Structure 1
Amino acid sequence: MTDPQSLENARRVHPQLNYELDRYAALAKLGWRTTRSFAEACRDAWAWQSANPQGYRG
């Protein structure tokens, strides 16, 4: 389980680190179904952000 304080600190450093999801809306509007858990998605997003601190710029 991730420490809530760590997440809050991450949001201060990376204000763009704010995700919203509604899997039911995605299914209804786009016909898209989730294939991973929220925890897996967070892990993958954090791994990418950690490896690419400047985003796509380098």
Structure 2
Amino acid sequence: MRTLSRDGGLVEGLLASGLATALGSRLGWPEVWRAAVLELRRHPEPDVRETAYGTVLGSG
């Protein structure tokens, strides 16, 4: 997951965002997935940042 998000590419970042969102929401937003989404909100690609900002993090 971190390898995908740190690659800096659009496709890799969107894949990382999708994985973090799907697994985070399924598992009740443990800290590792919350942190992944927060990291993606600083991604170099605007579309990845927008997707990450669109993710609603559940209480955790």
TM-score w.r.t. length of structure 2: 0.32
TM-score w.r.t. length of structure 1: 0.33
Q: Which of the two has greater helix per residue?
A: 2
The higher relative CO (CA closer than 8 Å, separation ≥ 6) is in 2
Q: Which has the larger radius of gyration?
A: 1
